[in-house]
Structure 1
Amino acid sequence: MNKYSLWCLALCVLLLSGCGKKFTGINWNFLDRNKLEVQEIDFDYFSTKTKIRFKDNEQDLNTNANVRIKKDSVIWLSVNAALGIEAARGLITKDSMVILNRLEKKLLVYDYDELSEKFGMRIDYNIIQSAFLGNLLVDRDSVDSEDVTRQKDFFFLEQRQDSLRIQNYVSAKTMKVEKVMVVEDNSPNSLVLNYGDFSMLDDHAFPFSGMISLSYNKGSGDLLNLQITIEHNKAVIEEKPLRFPFNVPNKYERL
């Protein structure tokens, strides 16, 4: 897989925000500080322009991306190469992830079973969307069990779902998720999400920068360490419907 396909795949699977501890203009005086009520961003359509740095054992890349979302339906993204040329375009739906590599005229199609097997943990549309927005990765009503512990400055919410253990650190000040750790039973695979640089986006606190750390087994026994740093330059809860242009030219080779 070339670097632009890898960029798109990494971005699609791990879209999110976070790192840092800056809060700008946020005041949640109405919240009950003794009860865990996680605040989540709500919307119909959402868009953002984002700077991304991707680093693994072999590569260190920087790029820009435009992202559009229709809630619970589709995530569209366009990844730019040098001089503003579009290098790749991705479309994430409830069923699959499709990536157009425009530089090499190739088409990549993934279903969530493939992605889950590749990264050694369950991946689906809802997890990708929630991670990108700084919401809980797994809905509290859908887990097998959960345990809540109140600490000094945060709530510790531990969830169990199948073989996954999901540890959420929720700020007692804003009731926003600041950190998530995901580990799988009997596996070295792990995912750490750090959220931060929170500012107001309409009536919602939104993390404008982020860091993703992923370690997973490549199949050879070696762990691949991957890190993605994200900085949102512009995030908008849109008042009007967005377009999601995505056409696959006949001449593209499907891999």
Structure 2
Amino acid sequence: MKKSISNSLLLLSGIIILASCHSKKQLVKRQADSSAVRTDNAASAVKNKINAIKSKQVSFTTFSGKAKTKLNVNGNSNDVTMNIRIQKNQKIWVSITAVIGIEVARALITPDSILVINKLQSVYIKKPFSYIYTYASRQVNYKTVESLLVGNAIPELLNENGKLEPSNGNVVIDGQLQDLLYKLIIGPDLKVTSTDLSNQSAGQSLHIDNSAFVQADGRVIPSEIAFSSTVKNKTIQADLKYSKTEFDQPLDFPFSIPSRFSQVN
């Protein structure tokens, strides 16, 4: 249990699957957005569609959420609670609590660094942000993490070079950024339904499903997000459901490393 939870946090930080939500609020019926334009091969139509999708992305200054999370790491399953706080473009704070209510780990991610404290084993990890490239493509950056946490599209994937195709009322965006292949499914409301990322040469893949959309402080966000990741011989599945979400509230980001803790690689 101790080793599994510790590894779960480290791997989640590495492949950026620290997010999502479930709320007791009424689900939002996803309807076609009136500003959407028909997709065709004309460059202007593609540009208009991409701009319309961008306009529907969640905008915020701070975000906080509490998520019941089922983690399965290499077949080892645990139920935990994640408390997540974001200061946009600056830092992401995560606290992981075990079923018995004891905080077992804490993480702080910035555009430059990743810090993880394992309270069960009194150790910590301090790495540059580039450490995640052990688990993810080099096209991943700090803003990728923030986007996934609130159900937004990864910014770099909303470009005019991707191929756009209509499909059953949705829009499918296929493309490639260097060695990263991607596929987005955008719903009729221009919100992201699913994201697929893969780097075949590195043996990396990540699939994300967003569902059960709700209203949260005037924003439409997915209340359930399911992740499935493969990184060479490591596999991770995570199902997250928030019990609480808030935007643009003052937040604290408490993080300190006790002197008795030892640093590990």
Q: TM-score, normalised by structure 1?
A: 0.87
Give the distance between the partners of 2:21 and 2:181, measured in 1 at CA.
Answer: 20
The DSSP-based 3-state class of the residue aligned with 2:236 is strand
Q: CA deviation at 1:26?
A: 5.6
- 1:38-83 residue CA offsets vs partner (Å, 9 max, x unmatched): 2211111110010111113241111011111111111111111243
- Among 168, 171, 184, the alignment partner of 1:152 is 168
- Stretch moving more, 5-14 or 64-73: 5-14
The DSSP-based 3-state class of the residue aligned with 1:3 is helix
Q: CA deviation at 1:205?
A: 1.2
Q: CA deviation at 1:32?
A: 2.1
Identity %: 21
Q: Assess, with a 3 A threshold, how the Cα gap between structure 1 residues 32 and 120 changes in structure 2: closer, same or farther.
A: closer
**1:92 matched to which residue of 2?**
109
Give the distance between the partners of 1:241 and 1:63, measured in 2 at CA.
Answer: 25
**1:24 matched to which residue of 2?**
28
Matches within 5 A, 1:162-173: 162-172=178-188
Corresponding letter in the other structure for 1:243: D
Give the distance between the partners of 1:67 and 1:212, measured in 2 at CA.
Answer: 17
Give the distance between the partners of 2:100 and 2:112, measured in 1 at CA.
Answer: 33
- The answer to whether the 8 A contact 2:139-2:177 is kept is no
- The answer to whether the 8 A contact 1:97-1:109 is kept is yes
Matches within 5 A, 1:1-255: 2-12=3-13, 13-17=16-20, 23-24=27-28, 29-34=33-38, 36=49, 37-38=52-53, 39-119=56-136, 122-140=139-157, 145-172=161-188, 174-217=189-232, 223-238=233-248, 240-255=249-264
- Stretch moving more, 183-192 or 27-36: 27-36
- 1:97-136 residue CA offsets vs partner (Å, 9 max, x unmatched): 1011112111112323322123466432111111111111
Q: Return 5+ residue gaps in structure 2 as ranges.
A: 39-47
Q: TM-score, normalised by structure 2?
A: 0.84
The DSSP-based 3-state class of the residue aligned with 1:87 is strand
- Stretch moving more, 24-33 or 160-169: 24-33
Corresponding letter in the other structure for 1:162: Q
Give the distance between the partners of 1:24 and 1:107, measured in 2 at CA.
Answer: 41
Give the superposed CA RMSD.
2.4
- Stretch moving more, 84-93 or 157-166: 157-166
More helix per residue: 2
- The answer to whether the 8 A contact 1:17-1:208 is kept is yes
- The answer to whether the 8 A contact 1:44-1:70 is kept is yes
Give the distance between the partners of 1:18 and 1:183, measured in 2 at CA.
Answer: 24
**2:45 matched to which residue of 1?**
none
- The answer to whether the 8 A contact 1:5-1:99 is kept is no
**Number of aligned pairs?**
245
